[in-house]
Amino acid sequence: MSLSRPLPGEYAEGYAPYIAEAGEGDVLVQLQGQLEEAAVLFGALSESQGGFRYAPGKWSLKDLLLHLSDAERIFAYRCLRIGRGDATPMPGFDEDAYVAAARADSRSMASLVADWRAVRTASLTLFHGLPDGAWGNQGTTNNRTLTARCIPYIALGHAAHHLRVVRERYLPALK
């Protein structure tokens, strides 16, 4: 199955940066590749590196990885609901409150990487299993409309954004 890139009329402007961040080509193949890319990147970090913050008030690398997993769960839930035709509006979420409540720094890097692998794999299973007609279903999340087809692109772009931040801000400061 190949999922075409959503058109601008399928999503609110607030989602545009993440959709733009998604590369060209088969989004499901890219999501699979990104699963491994992130697992390798974070899996190479020591426990002390996982606790690193590049500036005061910024998330640790462990926080960031668990944020990727939490956001992925939320994206998949939204896709499930919209894909099944549930048009009930869904609220947004406070990512900083989630990070604070998650206490990622108390977990091992290995457990966080395993969590990421499991969550992204579950998302891919959901995306592969949605019927073709479900991708055009429209829903509302965080007071913004979008089709189910947008969500894999948002998930890909969201993770790509954070992986770029890791490479540009965290990793250079660790050396």
Question: Tens digit of pLDDT for each residue in 75-99?
Answer: 999 999 999 999 999 999 999 999 9
How wide is the angle at C-alpha 157 spanned by C-alphas 17 and 12, nearest 5°? 40
Residue 88 placed within a domain: yes
DSSP lists the bridge partners of residue 141 as 90, 144
Residue with tokens 């966080």: 112
Structural domain count of the chain: 1
Each residue of 110-159: pLDDT tens digit? 999 999 999 999 999 999 999 999 999 999 999 999 999 999 999 999 99
- What is the rounded CA–CA span in Å between residue 42 and residue 29? 20
- What is the rounded CA–CA span in Å between residue 155 and residue 72? 6
pLDDT at 175 over 80: no
- Structural domain of residue 136, as residue ranges? 8-174
8 Å CB contact between 18 and 154: yes
- Burial bucket for residue 63 (CB in 10 Å: 0-12, 13-18, 19+): buried
Domain CATH number, residue 92: 1.20.120.450
Residue 2 placed within a domain: no
